[in-house]
Amino acid sequence: MSGMEIEELILINESTHFINMTTMEMTSSSPRYISLMDQVFSMAQLVPILILFGVFMIFGMLANAVTFIVISNSKKTAFNVFIMSLCVSDFLSAVNSPLIVYRALKAFDDYRLPVFFCKLGLSIDYWTSISTIQHILIFSFLRLYCIKFPHKFNRITVNGSTISIVIIWFETFFVGFLVYMLWPDVQYLPDTIPPRFKCGMTRAWAPTMFQYAMIAFPIFIYAPMVLILLTCLAVAIVLLQRRRDKEIGGRVGSKKERFALLQLALIVISFLIGYSADASYRVTAISSIQRGKPISARTELIYSLISHCLLRLSECLNPIFYNFSSSELRSATKKYILQKFETISSSKIGPLDTTKKHQSSDTGTTSKRISSST
């Protein structure tokens, strides 16, 4: 498919979206435009959706921040460093969530934020997505390596993991964040009263971005997802084979092996919950353009909201799964939260307690004086 054909398809897609989105109610003076969001959702439906995303955002920020702090204050391992970095990715994604939800609802025909936020929201969303995928892929490889060759476990060091993480963040920044800062723009929709704008791909970048998606999405999204599943399956096969050998020899399976399998399984489950819908959404969008039958704006809005909702759910599940799979992390997290609550409560009632202590000490001194005088 040539660049001109791609551009024509995208222009047809934009025109079709605009025609499908526009519902005019004739008044005595001029037509009134009803936005796509208002066509798809009533206010009674929209409020609980926004509340749900708000809960996901707040919990995701707090839970990932607490998990990061607890691990940073404890003894670091090569695997804990990866979990800390995953917490950073999920935290950034949660902070970026309002921009993505706003774009999902308003991007087609009622976008009112500056162009910087149109670019920033998409860039952070894609950056954190491919960064998370690569983190989990390397984490899975390391788990398989350590389980397959337990005598080489000491070769996996904290410094080595840190270097890998830094490389992942820089690499995904250049191939993800910077690329997505280029192509979106806020564009005026003609013949709309009052004037309305959309946040989307510019016509000049349409062919280039389509070719980028055809090359980059399989490399950074689809192939790593398949490799993660295959690696997780390989880990399970190795552990089952080892358990069978130990049962034959009359030995008991290692607690560390069971922990490694549980931790990896929970991380992969959460990953699949969050990214399966997102990958499906991207495949559907690209294939529909290739067929020359782009999906409607209404379908794209609902699809986008569902995939984003599952991503936010995954970000909330991750710190829960991290704590569930590790009793040490779980107890450290409980201790940290209790200490914070005690600090907050003592800061609120501290002055009152101090006054009471002074009063009690004065009373005790007075009673001593009374007793001595008698």
Residues 6+ positions from 116 with CB-CB distance below 8 Å: none
* Three-state DSSP state, 40: helix
Q: How many residues does the chain have?
A: 374
Task: Tell me what pLDDT residue 13 has.
Answer: 52
The residue ranges of the chain whose pLDDT is under 50 are 1-12, 14-30, 352, 354-374
List b or e across 192-211, with b for residues whose CB sees 16 or more CB atoms inside 10 angstroms: beeebbbbbbeeebbbbbbe
Q: Which long-range contacts (CB under 8 A, 24 or more apart) does 41-48 make?
A: 46/105
CB 56 within 8 A of CB 277: no
In this prediction, residue 294 carries a pLDDT of 79
Give the pLDDT confidence of 127-163 residue by residue, as tens digits: 999 999 999 999 999 988 988 888 887 888 999 999 9
Superfamily of domain 3-334 in CATH is: Rhodopsin 7-helix transmembrane proteins (1.20.1070.10)
What confidence score (pLDDT) does residue 300 get? 86
Q: How far apart are CA 90 and CA 63, in angstroms?
A: 10
Answer whether 144's CB lies under 8 Å from 189's CB: no
Token pair belonging to 318: 């991750």
**Any idea which residue has 């084979």 for tokens?**
241
Task: Identify the pLDDT of residue 243.
Answer: 77
| Whole-number pLDDT of residue 2 | 39
pLDDT digits (tens, 9 = 90+) for 12-21: 454 444 444 4
Measure the CA–CA gap between 255 and 259, rounded to whole angstroms. 6
Looking at residue 253, its pLDDT comes to 53
CA distance 97 to 91: 10
Structural domain boundaries in the chain = 3-334
| pLDDT the model gives residue 7 | 42
pLDDT of 8 reads 42
Q: Tell me, what's the pLDDT at 131? A: 96
